[in-house]
Structure 1
Amino acid sequence: MFELYSPVKILASVATTLSFGYSSGLVTRTSVNTWYPTLIKPWFTPPNKLFPIAWSSLYLVMGIAAGIVWSHASKGNKLAATGLKHFAVQFGLNMLWSYLFFGLKSPGLGLIEVTALWFSIYKTWSVFTLVDPTAGWLMVPYLSWVSYATVLNASIWWLNR
């Protein structure tokens, strides 16, 4: 029987996204308990305990999506290879945001960066959707969350300028 997706590639992608996501979270730990509570935040700010749950879930589905696209790329699909490059860029931007916002304690730099991140995720989503609609759909929660996070970041920047 023809195997469309490689479970090994999916598991490797999930492990990678969760590992890198965890490492970028290390930057936030100190600031979440010290600096972040001192900021004025909008009424729609979720409780801090929601963030690790949300991000872990998002890294999981992002990893599955990347593994699906990687399965296509390993069969010579050039668009899938392009999608993986876009995925790597957006993931790098994802990690950079934690450093800028929490590490440097800069909502302004975070806002500039999260805007670039949003466009990078959108590009990744559009290519993933062309490669495999399932992979595209798996990126929708991430794009939605970063849309919300962009508004939250902008609000925090505005309230604390």
Structure 2
Amino acid sequence: MWTHALGFAVLPHLGGFLGWFFTRKEVPTWFESLKKPSWRPPNKMFPVAWTALYTSMGYASYLVWKDTGGFNSKAVVPLGLYGAQLALNWAWTPIFFGAHKLKLALIDIVSLYGLVLATMYSWYPINKTSTLLMVPYLAWLTLASSLTYCIWRDNPEQEKGKKKE
């Protein structure tokens, strides 16, 4: 049913929308004061990318849900992993932009990367299309993880509660 597909596709956007509350004030102030690598995408690229990624990962989760017959014992691991990675995804923004905890954000995103790989591995036998729909997300996380690492490495004094030296 198309309403289920729509619901699954919209779900990841809820956390993304809440994350927007943390970024909207922090990007022009705190984030712009950070040292960032020259290869980072422009700020305007992030909401466009996340909109596409959240929609595709949500739809992919719908395919897994449908092919496992809904929320049942067959869906526990694949959808549980998906839910766990989504929680870490949603947690990154308040950790990074809200709390300015760069090291914790790095730990979060590296853990997220591992959970996305595990999610994809668990989805492959169920629905190969859903697994392929996660590939752009994994690619973007590779970029985001590298960016988070570089920002953490180059801005140790920028965490809240730490003084500049």
Indicate if the aligned counterparts of 2:102 and 2:151 stay in contact, CA closer than 8 A.
Answer: yes
1:5-84 aligned at under 5 Å gives the runs: 6-74=1-69, 78-84=73-79
Moved more, 14-23 or 57-66: 14-23
Normalised by the size of structure 1, how large is the TM-score? 0.91
Contact 1:114/1:150 (8 A) holds in 2: yes
Compare the two structures and name the one with the higher helix fraction. Answer: 1
In structure 1, the gaps of 5 or more residues are: 1-5
TM-score (ref. length: structure 2):
0.88
Q: CA RMSD in A?
A: 1.5
Count matched residues. 156
Instruction: Report sequence identity in percent.
Output: 34
The 2-side partners of 1:89 and 1:149 are apart by 18
After TM superposition, give the deviation of residue 82 of structure 1 in Å: 1.6
1:85 counterpart residue number: 80
Separation (CA, whole Å) in 2 of partners of 1:98 and 1:75: 30
Answer whether contact 1:28 1:98 (CA < 8 A) is retained. Answer: yes
Query: What whole-Å deviation, never above 9, does each CA across 1:54-84 have from its counterpart, x for those lacking one?
Result: 0011001011101101112326874433211
Deviation digits for residues 25-63 of structure 1 (CA, Å, limit 9, x no counterpart) = 222211112100000000111110000000011001011
